[in-house]
Amino acid sequence: MYKDYALIIGINDYTREDSDLPQLHGAIKDAEGFEEWFVKDSGNDDANGIEKHFESVYSKCDPLTPVYDVIEKALGKLLKKAEEEPALNRRLYFYFAGHGIGLDYDTTNNALCLADWSEKKRGNALSSKDYHNTFIKLGLFRQVIILLDCCREIKVNVYPRPPEETPMAGSGPHQAEVFWGYATKFNNLAHEIDTENGDKRGAFTYVLMNGLRGGAANEDGIIDSVNLKKYLDRYVPVAANRDKLSQKPEINNGLTEPESIFAKVDPGLVPCAIQFQSHRTGPVLLVDGLGKTIEKIVDAGGKKITIDLKKGKYLLKDELNHEVHPINIESFRFPINPIAINF
């Protein structure tokens, strides 16, 4: 048995006075989505089970919260639990959705703006680098996962705050590996996008959650850090580009196997109903990701077939006119519903 922990922060509400940080729309929902995943779906199917502890902090506008003390209080509660049986601790997740600011003097650090950040009070932010370093120095966790869905455009003279904990290196029993993911590159924006449900979500978290819920799974249904990184690198730009925005994440994977698994899903099969258009007189091939032909449909014109496909990439190819149609069962669209294709 082992224990996982999560500190989850979602901030939509920012001070109105003397601040050019607009209110956000999706940060709280993003954080709630991550919380739900952590509680219900994170981990693998270890028979001994995982004990999960988390603290979540969501913003409110009246009174305006969270401020620094609220975050520190939540972190303090979490660390107190972690100190009970440190040998059993596996992983700490630190998730933040809100406004962020890049630092002109340190490209590896980011200010995670709290609700009371303003142009004058530029220190009202968390220092991502200092929190990262503290989590490592605490030695309480074997792995630290840092996921930051926020901008990194720079302003000068922003001095974000470190955590109050000031541990000595090697305080605890573990030497942590780290997986960290920034929503965007240094001095770039992270965007909120319109989803198919009509609400606004951070592009990074939107893809992250689709990946963690199965989009980044391999054919055995395992979502590990390698595949998650590749998935985010591949699909965050696509999600942003749908809204004609540009965003590329910055991910660093320091987790090593065999403990780099985030979740396991049932690899399952997805039913696909393919309707061929009447002009398809030539044979049509259904090819898998390795280029192997799964099905060859002769005289496809007007026919309809149903086929169950594993997660992966496929291609329909009309041998006569060379038209192709990609099928991506691994799509970041979630949930995975039966797929209808017209070719």
Partner 1 sequence: MGNSDNRDHYMFVIEADSRFQYLVRMTLFDNDNNIVLEGSQYPMQKTLGQGLYTIRLDTNGSIEDTVFLLNHDVRYKLSHCKEPLTEAGVLMPPPMYSAVPLDEKVYASSQEYYRKPAIDLATLHTWPIQPMTTNSSIYLFVRFYSRERYEQLKNEEKAASMTDFRLLNHLGIVICDLANEAGAIVNDEDGWMVFNGLLSPGLYLLEFTGPEPRQIPVYLLENFHTQLFLVLDKKPVFSSLRIFLQKERRFDPCDARNIYTDLLFTRLQNKDITLEEGLERSICNGELEGFMLHLLYAYITVLAKKEPNDFRYNVMHPLFHHHAWLQGPLPDWRAICILGGSLSGYSGTVEPIRGVPILYPGYLAIKEAAVVPEHKDLIREKSLNDLITVHALYDSLITTFTPVTIKIDELLTVNSNPRWKTKEPTGTPQTDKYREPYYANYYSNIRGDKMWDEFMAGYQGDTANWLEFLIYELVSKEHIRNPELLSQRLRISVITINRTIEEVRRKLYNKAWSSDNQQVQPPATHDPTPARLMKAYYNESLESL
Instruction: Give contact residues for partner 1 (rule: CB under 8 A).
Output: 104-105, 119-120, 122, 153-157, 185-188, 218, 227, 230-231, 233-234, 237-238, 241, 244-247, 287-291, 312-315, 317, 324, 326
Beta bridge partners of 180: 146, 252
Other CB atoms within 10 A of residue 295 CB: 14
Tokens representing 38? 């952590």
Rounded to a whole number of angstroms, the minimum distance from the CB of residue 92 to partner 1 is 27
- 121's CB contacts (< 8 A; 6+ apart) are none
Rounded to a whole number of angstroms, the minimum distance from the CB of residue 79 to partner 1 is 27
Please identify, using beta-carbon distances, which residue of 65 and 188 lies nearer to partner 1: 188
Please identify, using beta-carbon distances, which residue of 77 and 296 lies nearer to partner 1: 296
DSSP 91-122: EEEEEEES-EEEETTEEEEEEEE-TT--SS-T
Please identify, using beta-carbon distances, which residue of 229 and 280 lies nearer to partner 1: 229
Rounded to a whole number of angstroms, the minimum distance from the CB of residue 14 to partner 1 is 17
Rounded to a whole number of angstroms, the minimum distance from the CB of residue 293 to partner 1 is 9
Neighbour-count burial of 120, counting CB atoms closer than 10 A to its CB (0-12 exposed, 13-18 middle, 19+ buried): exposed
Q: Which of 82, 5, 79 is nearest to 42 (CA)?
A: 5
Rounded to a whole number of angstroms, the minimum distance from the CB of residue 186 to partner 1 is 6
Distance CA 336, CA 339 (A): 8
Please identify, using beta-carbon distances, which residue of 56 and 109 lies nearer to partner 1: 109
Backbone angles phi, psi at 119, to 5 degrees: -60, -35
- 43's CB contacts (< 8 A; 6+ apart) are 4, 50, 52, 261, 262, 263
DSSP element (H, E) containing 132:
helix 128-138
Rounded to a whole number of angstroms, the minimum distance from the CB of residue 290 to partner 1 is 5
Other CB atoms within 10 A of residue 208 CB: 29
Rounded to a whole number of angstroms, the minimum distance from the CB of residue 69 to partner 1 is 16
Please identify, using beta-carbon distances, which residue of 305 and 315 lies nearer to partner 1: 315
In degrees, to the nearest 5, what angle opens at C-alpha 309 toward C-alphas 211 and 269?
A: 65
Please identify, using beta-carbon distances, which residue of 48 and 292 lies nearer to partner 1: 292
Please identify, using beta-carbon distances, which residue of 237 and 283 lies nearer to partner 1: 237
